[in-house]
């Protein structure tokens, strides 16, 4: 009689008891019962049929750069799609439409676009993880969002066992979330996407760090390569190198205040921290208002108001250079991270009235 593992092995590469600490940028997490690496997406119906018949839970993982895995691990199958091709689907004198596999590293994709002189995603250089993960979580940086360039997604519908095409509307992109992390979570796998980029454009330089970098270098109109170099310099100065230090980047989402919540928040800032900080918060609100509402950078609350840089719980620590980032400083467990997260959320709630939301997703809790 053929057992489950043997059956799965005919359709994908399967590893047993695979440490999640090796699959996540946090470098934390116990074993996953199975790691299933899928090279041939045509085998997805067969793989999910076996998982269903054997009542095996599953989790779709990209590069693991936006997740925290439990110390106990995950009693199920981690599914990783191992495709990494790209091609030009269409082009004219002004634009290019690229079809890119979800398993390709996001930054390898950005490097290709910079090399080809295609404009649009250059400010998102050096975001760790896969193309699929960047689309699922609606990643963004320095004024550019992945969702601004997607025109279509090719997906596998796990529940109905069929391959489908999604329009941009169906992807339902929001700030750091999408249909794939909300209503469609655990139901769909992004297999590839179409991305439209420009063959020429003005640099999109609106963030103080980037403006200063080019002002210092006296560069008026940087090339794509120069922008990518700038982002390397800026990001590696203020974020940990995740190849060396465990982290999932920003742990929390930024705070968006509705008009109704604004007054209560500002009054609390005034009462707990003084009029000077209220003024600063009001200025930020004006400066950073976008389609999601008035943005208060969570880093401002954690750093300037609550002074949390360097705060440690067990091996988990608030990064000294950026308070929004939690690092695995000294063999942290997921429990250490959760204790620190809970402390931060409680401090923010009691001093500002805001309930922080995690940007990082949890596996196996
Ligand atoms: C040092 C550092 C800096 C960072 N900087 C930024 C930044 O500037 N901007 C930013 O937005 N993020 C940033 N991040 C977070 C992270 O890099 C992004 O969220 C990234 O896009 C996650 O991609 P991933 O492939 O690693 O996703 P994973 O962490 O593997 O998964 C994240 C979510 O997406 C889902 N998912 C993944 N792949 C698929 C798929 N193929 N189909 C369906 N669902 C899928 C997962 O189920 C999970 O819910 C940073 C992280 C680190 C460590």
What does the pLDDT read at residue 248? 98
- 61 and 119 in a single domain? The answer is no
What is the position in ligand 1's atom list of the atom closest to the CA of 129?
Answer: 26
What is the reported pTM?
0.96
What is the position in ligand 1's atom list of the atom closest to the CA of 242?
Answer: 1
- The CB of 246 under 6 Å from ligand 1? The reply is no
3 state DSSP class of 359 = coil
Q: In the chain, which stretches have pLDDT less than 50? A: 1
Ligand 1 centroid distance, CA of 240 (Å): 16
pLDDT digits (tens, 9 = 90+) for 177-197: 999 999 999 999 999 999 999
Ligand 1 centroid distance, CA of 217 (Å): 32
CATH of the domain at 19: 3.30.43.10
- Three-state DSSP string of 126-139: CCCCEHHHHHHCCC
- 268 and 291 in a single domain? The answer is yes
Is residue 47 included in any domain, yes or no? yes
Is residue 239 included in any domain, yes or no? no
pLDDT digits (tens, 9 = 90+) for 154-166: 999 999 999 999 9
What does the pLDDT read at residue 325? 98
CATH of the domain at 169: 3.30.465.10
Token pair of 364, please? 């196996």
Domain span at 270: 246-363
What does the pLDDT read at residue 4? 84
Ligand 1 centroid distance, CA of 107 (Å): 12
- Nearby residues of 330 by Cβ (< 8 Å), 6 or more positions away: 314, 315, 317
Is residue 233 included in any domain, yes or no? no
Neighbours of 22 (CB within 10 A): 12
What does the pLDDT read at residue 2? 65
- 153 and 257 in a single domain? The answer is no
Which of 23, 28, 65, 207 has most ligand 1 atoms within 8 Å of its beta carbon, as the pocket-test mutant?
65
- Nearby residues of 1 by Cβ (< 8 Å), 6 or more positions away: none
Distances (CA, A) of 192 to 77, 154, 165, 281, 284: 21, 5, 10, 40, 37
Is residue 268 included in any domain, yes or no? yes
Torsion of CA 67, 71, 72, 76, to 10 degrees: 20
- 74 and 94 in a single domain? The answer is no
Is residue 102 included in any domain, yes or no? yes
Phi and psi based region of residue 16 (left: phi greater than 0; alpha: psi -120 to 50; beta: remaining): beta
Is residue 216 included in any domain, yes or no? no
- The CB of 361 under 6 Å from ligand 1? The reply is yes
Ligand 1 centroid distance, CA of 129 (Å): 5
**Residues 16, 34: Cα–Cα separation, whole Å:** 5
**Residues 206, 180: Cα–Cα separation, whole Å:** 29
What does the pLDDT read at residue 109? 98
- The CB of 69 under 6 Å from ligand 1? The reply is no
- 189 and 91 in a single domain? The answer is yes
- The CB of 61 under 6 Å from ligand 1? The reply is yes
Token pair of 54, please? 């054997």
Rounded to 5°, angle at Cα 321 from 319 and 323? 55
Our count of domains for the chain comes to: 3
Q: Which of 81, 102, 135 is the last residue of a domain?
A: 81
**Residues 137, 139: Cα–Cα separation, whole Å:** 5
Cβ atoms of 180 and 102 within 8 Å: the answer is no
Ligand 1 centroid distance, CA of 125 (Å): 14
């Amino acid at each position: 009689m053929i057992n489950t593992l043997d059956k799965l092995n005919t359709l994908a590469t399967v590893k047993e008891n695979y440490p999640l600490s090796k699959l996540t940028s946090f470098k934390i997490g116990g074993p996953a019962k199975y790691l299933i690496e899928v090279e041939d997406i045509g085998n997805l119906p067969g793989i999910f049929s076996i998982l269903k018949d054997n009542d095996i839970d599953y989790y779709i993982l990209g590069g693991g750069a936006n997740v925290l895995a439990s110390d106990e691990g995950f009693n199920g199958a981690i599914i990783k799609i191992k495709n990494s091709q790209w091609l030009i689907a269409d082009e004219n004198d002004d634009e290019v439409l690229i079809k890119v596999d979800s398993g390709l590293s996001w930054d390898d994709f950005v490097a290709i676009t910079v090399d080809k002189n295609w404009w649009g995603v250059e400010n998102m250089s050096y975001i760790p993880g896969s193309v699929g993960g960047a689309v699922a979580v609606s990643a963004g940086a320095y004024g550019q969002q992945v969702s601004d360039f997607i025109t279509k997604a090719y997906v596998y519908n796990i529940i109905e066992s069929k391959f489908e095409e999604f329009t941009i509307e169906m992807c339902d992109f929001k700030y750091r979330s999408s249909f794939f992390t909300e209503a469609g979570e655990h139901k769909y796998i992004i297999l590839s996407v179409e991305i439209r980029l420009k063959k020429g454009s003005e640099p999109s330089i609106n963030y103080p760090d980037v403006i200063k970098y080019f002002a210092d270098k006296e560069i008026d109109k940087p090339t794509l390569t120069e922008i990518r170099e700038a982002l390397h310099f800026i990001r590696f100065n203020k974020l940990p190198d995740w190849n060396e230090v465990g982290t999932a980047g920003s742990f929390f989402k930024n705070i968006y205040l509705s008009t109704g919540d604004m007054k209560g928040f500002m009054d609390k800032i005034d009462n707990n921290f003084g009029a000077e900080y209220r003024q600063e918060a009001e200025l930020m609100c004006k400066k950073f208002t976008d389609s999601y509402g008035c943005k208060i950078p969570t880093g401002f609350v954690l750093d300037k108001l609550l002074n949390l840089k360097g705060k440690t719980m067990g091996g988990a620590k608030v990064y000294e250079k950026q308070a929004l980032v939690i690092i695995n400083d000294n063999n942290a467990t997921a429990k250490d991270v959760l204790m620190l997260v809970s402390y931060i959320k409680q401090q923010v709630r009691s001093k500002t009235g805001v309930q922080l939301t995690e940007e990082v997703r949890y596996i196996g809790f």
